[in-house]
Chain A
Amino acid sequence: MSEAPSLTPSGGARAGSRAPRGGSLSKLAGFAAFVALFVQACHGVHARPQDLISGVHGMADILSRAMPPDLGQFVPSLEPIVETIDLAVFGTVLGVVLAFPLALLAASNVSPARPLYYFARAIIGVTRSVPDLVWALLFVTAVGLGPFPGALALGVHSIGMLGRLFSEVIEDMDMGPVEALTLTGASRLQVFTHAVVPGVLPTLLGISLYRFDENLRSSLVLGFVGAGGIGFMLLTAMNLFQYQTVSYLLIVTFVLVALAERGSAFLRSRVQ
């Protein structure tokens, strides 16, 4: 077997043997940095494992009081369940409808003008960086308690999340068909509907379905700040120490989220 040629004019063998050692050192340094970061995080969150052990009795007490789940809450919970699904549907549709045009402006390869590009990027940045829970608090202050502020919060946050993902999909698309249709004399709008939309639509639909799944989970949490749905019912039950109702609602939540996950995964596989 012939020896691999050295890439250096002289001392290739030495250089070759040094490289792995250097690599190991940098890996070791990286691992040490990671451990240091984690230790700092433990200190920052005041992590006390002993509290978990001493708190086992309290948790066991709550679990025993939560059993069996109160199935009698089935009928009263139907309306909040529908409300939760409605929150996710409204938020997702609002997000998709507003995110799509914004994404077109925010995608560097199809954006019609630079100022519009920066404008769209700014809106996407703001709506995305503020969490939906904070948006919900703001909308509760503006329009009062109920599902509407929650739906608005999900919609506005979805604009940012979807806008970012949509624009990345558009930027990554194959520009060949766009150029080909442009050269046939097609107008900008025709190029958009005949080349851009068919090229990216399946991916955008997949992302939108995934967003619905996310919004359904978020809508459960939004109920805690007065935005309706199962979350609000769950908060009320906890405040009234009705742990059997709480356990029932947690089971409902699990079933809803699992169904949404399976449903959106199935639909995503169909549109690809």
Chain B
Amino acid sequence: MSAMQPGMAEPIGFRPATLPDAGARAPGNASAGFGARLAVRNLVMRYPNGHTALDGVSLSVGAGEMVVILGSNGCGKSTLMKCVVGLNRPSGGSVEVAGRDLAALRGGALRAARLPVALISQHANLVKRRSVLANVCTGALGRHRSLATTLGRVPKSEIEPARGFLDEVGLLHLAPQRAGTLSGGQAQRVAVARALAQRPQVVLADEPVASLDPEAADDVMRLLRRLATDDGLAVVAVLHQPDLAARYADRLVGMRGGRVEFDERASAVGAQRIANLYVAAAR
């Protein structure tokens, strides 16, 4: 299926997971061959206390590409994610999504411009007392500013697409169930479906499998991989599991001290270089 565009209503069809050889398929540079969906240029994030969390980070992710960012705690991975979605305002540089620089926008303009960017966090952050289907529908609220949605109703036109997204993550049978009754892995897959309801071009996943068991983590990573491969989305995931990263990513980005240490094809990055990211931090 071609890349989803904002405003498209049809659900993404479910396809069995057939993982491509990520390393063999991946290009060395996102902008070459893919056309960058997300372009971060020379991003700097300096806090008022003088601490520099990001020091000139550049990153480019193309349509259909999955990039995994690795690095120790405090190296700037999550700060980078927050800057991309506009939760943090960078001190310098640019974050370009769909041709607009999010770093230069504020208020309503920022809200509108970040619609093509969906964020999946470590915790699914579902509204526990609402149904799974209603939770997925809330992903589309940004495109439905009617009185009914303001009063708490889900957009009717989003119900069928939401069922399609639930089907894609393999949880359509749980649509009427309360979100609070789901397991951690199921909740995270519903969060992926909610992200899809946003009709994003870029999906960011900030430690999406940190609180999941290996099997559930594998399910979620396979799902993210499929979003890139089958749906043509640009996927950026922050992980602490190098083995998962190597298995699913096209490119690995290593970060240390707010800088990019390496940005290369997954197959080209050796285990020692990944280990060095963490060893250096431990010292």
Q: Which residues of A contact B150 (CB under 8 A)?
A: 187, 189-190, 193
Q: Which residues of B contact A130 (CB under 8 A)?
A: none
- Residue A184 contacts which of B123, B145, B151, B198 (CB distance < 8 angstroms)? B198
B194–A184 touching, CB < 8 Å: yes
Q: Which residues of B contact A186 (CB under 8 A)?
A: 138, 141-142
Q: Which residues of A contact B194 (CB under 8 A)?
A: 180, 184
Map CB proximity to B onto A126-141 as digits: 1 under 8 Å, 0 otherwise: 0000000000000000
Determine the interface band of chain B, counting residues with CB < 8 A from chain A: 20 to 34
Q: Which residues of B contact A180 (CB under 8 A)?
A: 119, 121, 125-126, 191, 194
Residue B114 interfacial (CB < 8 Å)? yes
Give residues of chain B (82-109) contacting chain A, Cβ–Cβ below 8 Å. Answer: 85, 87
A185–B114 touching, CB < 8 Å: yes
- A180–B138 alpha-carbon span in the complex (Å): 10
Residue B273 interfacial (CB < 8 Å)? no
- Residue B125 contacts which of A179, A187, A202 (CB distance < 8 angstroms)? A179
Residue A183 interfacial (CB < 8 Å)? yes
Q: Which residues of B contact A193 (CB under 8 A)?
A: 150-152
B129–A185 touching, CB < 8 Å: no
Q: Which residues of A contact B151 (CB under 8 A)?
A: 193
Q: Which residues of B contact A195 (CB under 8 A)?
A: 127, 138
Determine the interface band of chain A, counting residues with CB < 8 A from chain B: 20 to 34
Query: Contacts A176-B123, A183-B114 given: A198-B129 contact, CB under 8 Å?
Result: yes
* Shortest Cβ gap from B157 to chain A (Å): 16
Residue B73 interfacial (CB < 8 Å)? no
Residue B115 interfacial (CB < 8 Å)? yes
Q: Which residues of B contact A177 (CB under 8 A)?
A: 125-127
Residue B130 interfacial (CB < 8 Å)? yes
* Shortest Cβ gap from A20 to chain B (Å): 39
- A177–B130 alpha-carbon span in the complex (Å): 11
- A183–B86 alpha-carbon span in the complex (Å): 9
- A199–B142 alpha-carbon span in the complex (Å): 20
* Shortest Cβ gap from A132 to chain B (Å): 33
Residue B118 interfacial (CB < 8 Å)? yes
A202–B145 touching, CB < 8 Å: no
Residue B32 interfacial (CB < 8 Å)? no
Residue A262 interfacial (CB < 8 Å)? no
Map CB proximity to B onto A169-187 as digits: 1 under 8 Å, 0 otherwise: 0000010110111011111
B141–A194 touching, CB < 8 Å: yes
With both beta carbons as reference points, the residue of chain A lying nearest to B126 in the complex is identified as A177
Map CB proximity to A onto B8-32 as digits: 1 under 8 Å, 0 otherwise: 0000000000000000000000000
- A198–B179 alpha-carbon span in the complex (Å): 12
Residue A197 interfacial (CB < 8 Å)? yes
Q: Which residues of A contact B198 (CB under 8 A)?
A: 184-185
B142–A185 touching, CB < 8 Å: yes
* Shortest Cβ gap from B276 to chain A (Å): 33
With both beta carbons as reference points, the residue of chain B lying nearest to A193 in the complex is identified as B152
Give residues of chain B (174-221) contacting chain A, Cβ–Cβ below 8 Å. Answer: 191, 194, 198
Q: Which residues of A contact B139 (CB under 8 A)?
A: 184
- A85–B40 alpha-carbon span in the complex (Å): 64
Q: Which residues of B contact A187 (CB under 8 A)?
A: 111, 141, 145, 150
Give residues of chain A (164-220) contacting chain B, Cβ–Cβ below 8 Å. Answer: 174, 176-177, 179-181, 183-187, 189-190, 193-195, 197-199, 201-202
- A185–B112 alpha-carbon span in the complex (Å): 7
Query: Contacts A198-B127, A198-B130 given: A176-B121 contact, CB under 8 Å?
Result: yes
- Residue A194 contacts which of B118, B119, B128, B138 (CB distance < 8 angstroms)? B138
Q: Which residues of B contact A201 (CB under 8 A)?
A: 129
Query: Contacts A197-B152, A202-B129 given: A185-B111 contact, CB under 8 Å?
Result: yes
Residue B241 interfacial (CB < 8 Å)? no
- A174–B179 alpha-carbon span in the complex (Å): 14
Q: Which residues of B contact A190 (CB under 8 A)?
A: 141, 145, 149-150
- A197–B150 alpha-carbon span in the complex (Å): 12
Q: Which residues of A contact B85 (CB under 8 A)?
A: 183
Q: Which residues of B contact A183 (CB under 8 A)?
A: 85, 87, 114, 118-119
A184–B129 touching, CB < 8 Å: no
- A234–B112 alpha-carbon span in the complex (Å): 64
With both beta carbons as reference points, the residue of chain B lying nearest to A178 in the complex is identified as B125
Q: Which residues of A contact B115 (CB under 8 A)?
A: 184-185
Map CB proximity to A onto B126-147 as digits: 1 under 8 Å, 0 otherwise: 1111100000001111110100
* Shortest Cβ gap from A5 to chain B (Å): 25
User: 7 A-B pairs, CB-CB below 8 angstroms?
Assistant: A179-B121, A184-B140, A185-B141, A186-B138, A193-B151, A198-B127, A199-B129
Nearest first, the 5 closest Cβ-Cβ pairs linking A and B are A185-B142, A176-B125, A193-B152, A186-B141, A180-B125
Sample of 20 more A-B contacts, CB < 8 Å, known A187-B150, A194-B152:
A176-B123, A177-B126, A179-B125, A181-B141, A183-B114, A183-B118, A184-B138, A184-B140, A184-B141, A184-B194, A185-B111, A186-B142, A190-B141, A190-B150, A193-B150, A194-B127, A194-B138, A197-B152, A198-B127, A199-B129
